[in-house]
């Protein structure tokens, strides 16, 4: 039997404890990481890992994901065929209010995204088309910003579901995991988890309770209740949210160029295939800047002059500050007036 040199055996014995110490250190170092993953999977704070009946949470959720999940949850029983698309100003348009102007039996859902761009709207319509959905009516709520935005937004607040974007589902989930692990969210979230209380300075937390309808994704803006309680004082106390306006006509810079035009054509192609009744509504923004005439003409050439309604600029709707929660968003009170104006013109 071959003898192993004593010096070699001794070296191996010395190395083994050092190796075990290294393994123990690595395990100890990785424990917080695995604990973080376990907490994320167990809590599912952004409600993106599992299916839920209700999508209201103490955490501010990704509205793209929420709207799509509400659609998937209820489409088999409700059979949605009418879609409110666009940015957060869609909150001013209640599905039930819109349905008053549609055919009996038509059912609407709001599929919006915060800071929504045209590419995201195109992908949503293409996904509905691929799922053989009936797309009978579409109401698109746009403004200059949404018209100009071409690239898809990233990050946990804006990323589209993998079903819609076509991205790798793991890559989409990684966005949420990274957002969870960021200290400016994680530490307030851990405090919330211990205390059960949402504090005003907690980033991406929802202190308002229920903010959406679980069946059609209508928005329940908490400021509506504040207006009901405070009356005129609501606007008096928030003058800093309503900057003075010049009162003179201002034309916004053009928003639609070649790439934007291509996406708008893609949207219209899907709608044309479905024989969709389409209305494009340019929001009556508080800033009273008028959509550039070139942009309006392009929209009219694509969707039809009779289907494009431009409420931007100085007009009866933008003049009254009571129509607004703050400079960026207007109320269902105004949304109802705009629907009435649109359908009275038919």
Sign, CA dihedral 133-217-51-113, equals: positive
CATH 3.40.50 fits 63-344, yes or no: yes
- SS3 call for 66: helix
pTM above 0.85, yes or no: yes
pLDDT at res. 4: 46
Q: pLDDT value at position 23?
A: 54
pLDDT of the residue at 12:
54
| pLDDT at site 289 | 95
CB contact set of 116 (below 8 Å; sequence gap of 6+): 85, 86, 87, 88, 146, 149
In angstroms, the CA 188 to CA 195 distance is 10
**The pLDDT of residue 27:** 53
Taking each helix axis from N to C terminus, what angle separates 258-274 and 293-303, rounded to the nearest 10 degrees? 30
- Output DSSP code: residue 219: B
Give the closest residue to 152 by CA, choosing from 122, 174, 107, 125: 122
pLDDT at site 268:
98
- Mean pLDDT, the chain, rounded, equals 92
Domain range summary for the chain, segments of one domain joined by +: 63-344
The residues of the chain scoring below 70 in pLDDT are 1-16, 18-31, 346
pLDDT in the model for residue 1? 44
- What distance in Å separates the CA atoms of residue 165 and residue 122, rounded to the nearest whole number? 10
């Amino acid at each position: 039997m071959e003898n192993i040199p004593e010096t070699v055996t001794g070296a191996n014995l010395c190395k083994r404890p050092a190796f075990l110490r290294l393994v123990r250190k690595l395990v100890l170092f990785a424990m917080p990481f695995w604990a973080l993953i376990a907490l994320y999977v167990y809590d599912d704070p952004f409600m993106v890992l599992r299916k839920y009946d209700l999508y209201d949470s103490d955490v501010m959720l990704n509205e793209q994901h929420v709207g799509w999940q509400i659609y998937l949850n209820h489409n088999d029983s409700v059979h949605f065929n009418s879609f409110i698309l666009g940015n957060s100003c869609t909150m001013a348009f209640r599905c039930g209010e819109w349905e008053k102007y549609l055919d009996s039996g038509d059912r609407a859902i709001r599929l919006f995204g915060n800071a929504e761009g045209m590419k995201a709207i195109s992908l949503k319509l293409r996904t509905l088309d691929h799922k053989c959905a009936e797309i009978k009516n579409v109401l698109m709520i746009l403004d200059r910003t949404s018209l100009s935005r071409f690239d898809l937004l990233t990050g946990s607040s804006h990323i589209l579901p993998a079903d819609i974007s076509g991205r790798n589902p793991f890559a989409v989930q990684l966005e949420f995991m990274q957002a969870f692990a960021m200290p400016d969210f994680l530490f307030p979230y851990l405090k919330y988890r211990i205390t059960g209380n949402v504090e005003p300075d907690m980033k991406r937390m929802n202190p308002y309770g229920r903010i959406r309808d679980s069946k059609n994704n209508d928005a329940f803006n908490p400021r509506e209740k504040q207006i009901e309680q405070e009356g005129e004082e609501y606007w008096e106390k928030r003058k800093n949210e309503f900057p003075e306006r010049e009162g003179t006509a201002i034309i916004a810079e053009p928003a639609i160029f070649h790439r934007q035009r291509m996406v708008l054509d893609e949207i219209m192609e899907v709608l044309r295939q479905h024989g969709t009744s389409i209305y494009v509504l340019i929001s009556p923004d508080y800033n009273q800047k008028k959509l550039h005439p070139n942009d309006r003409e392009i929209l009219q050439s694509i969707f039809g002059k009779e289907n494009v309604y431009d409420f931007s600029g100085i007009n009866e709707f933008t003049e009254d500050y009571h129509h607004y929660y703050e400079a960026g968003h207007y109320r269902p009170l105004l949304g109802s007036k705009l629907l009435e104006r649109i359908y009275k013109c038919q």
